[in-house]
Structure 1
Amino acid sequence: MLPKAELKKWFHKLLTHTSVFALSLPTHLTVDMESWLNLFLIISAFFWECRGDRVIQPKGVETATEGGQITLTCHYETDDPSPYLFWYKQGANDYPKYMLMRFNFGTGDNATEFKERFHANLDANSKSVPLTIQRLQLSDSAVYYCALRPTVT
């Protein structure tokens, strides 16, 4: 049997390394197969459930000319066959404001103040929902966030 401190170190390694199942059991530590299988199933279920959906937006500042047009990129990763994508705008010293929502089986919805110059189409093939802003105004200067359902609107 391993001393308590060594056993603690071994379990810490087991839980903190990404290659959890690449670790070998110490030869003098006996574990019955049923317990090991149960642990494997629990950890597998945890990782399967926590795979996570995500959106990918380029980092950095986009610049454009007043009166012009700009397109902001948003790619997403999900196993959901019917994803909902959202765009939010956050001005200086303000909270994020809902702009619009798109889904792959319809057009979606735009908040009232974003109906005229703000357009987005969800492209399920490229898994993207680019946001185009037309007739740019100084008040369009902000941080724009793309989000994938579930989210609070």
Structure 2
Amino acid sequence: MLTLCFFLFNGRCYIIEAEEENVSQPTEDVMVVEGQPTKLSCTFDTTDLLPYLFCYKQQANGNPMFMLREDIFGAGETNTEFKERFHARLNVTVKSVPLTIQRVQLSDSAVYYCALRPTVTTGYTSPLQI
């Protein structure tokens, strides 16, 4: 556990325990035949009982683009651009959320990220496509 100390005006120190979280993805390139499906691995470790996983796509020289958010209830959110061919299912038992791409296209060439917290936002809590 990480321990953070937050000081209030009266000088008292309140201890806040923050959970350690971690997301792992393979670092090697994935080679796929155009038109075929592929599955990209993402595993995570968190003490959060109701985790959310976010997926992002970043093309060369571009900014990360929000793709989708998944939760254990299957009530996630998918950016319109990715609804048809991109799917992920959060599995808390094995702590993974593989990203499946149906009918891979040349335009799918990119770096894909998964995260336990939104990383591209508007200042609100909902992710934003840039």
TM-score normalised over the length of structure 2: 0.78
CA 1:49–1:91: 2 relative to 1, 3 Å: same
Residues 1:139 and 2:104 are matched in the alignment: no
Runs of 4+ in 1 over 6 A off after TM superposition: none
CA 1:140–1:150: 2 relative to 1, 3 Å: closer
Provide the C-alpha distance between the structure 2 equivalents of 1:99 and 1:150, rounded to a whole number of angstroms: 11
Larger radius of gyration: 1
Residue 13 of structure 1 corresponds to which residue in structure 2? Answer: none
Structure 1 counterpart of 2:69, from 85, 96, 101: 101
Residues 1:114 and 2:69 are matched in the alignment: no
Residues 1:81 and 2:49 are matched in the alignment: yes
The secondary structure found in structure 2 opposite 1:107 is: coil
Structure with the larger helix share = 1
Aligned residues: 109
- Unmatched 5+ residue regions in structure 1? 1-43
Q: CA deviation at 1:53?
A: 0.6
Provide the C-alpha distance between the structure 1 equivalents of 2:47 and 2:118, rounded to a whole number of angstroms: 13
CA 1:79–1:61: 2 relative to 1, 3 Å: same
Whether the aligned pair in 1 keeps the contact of 2:54 and 2:118 (CA below 8 Å) is: no
Letter in 2 for 1:64: V
The secondary structure found in structure 2 opposite 1:95 is: coil
What percentage of residue pairs aligned between the two structures are identical? 54
Q: CA deviation at 1:149?
A: 2.2
Q: CA deviation at 1:92?
A: 0.8
Bigger Cα displacement from structure 2, 49-58 vs 112-121: 49-58
Provide the C-alpha distance between the structure 2 equivalents of 1:103 and 1:134, rounded to a whole number of angstroms: 21
TM-score normalised over the length of structure 1: 0.66
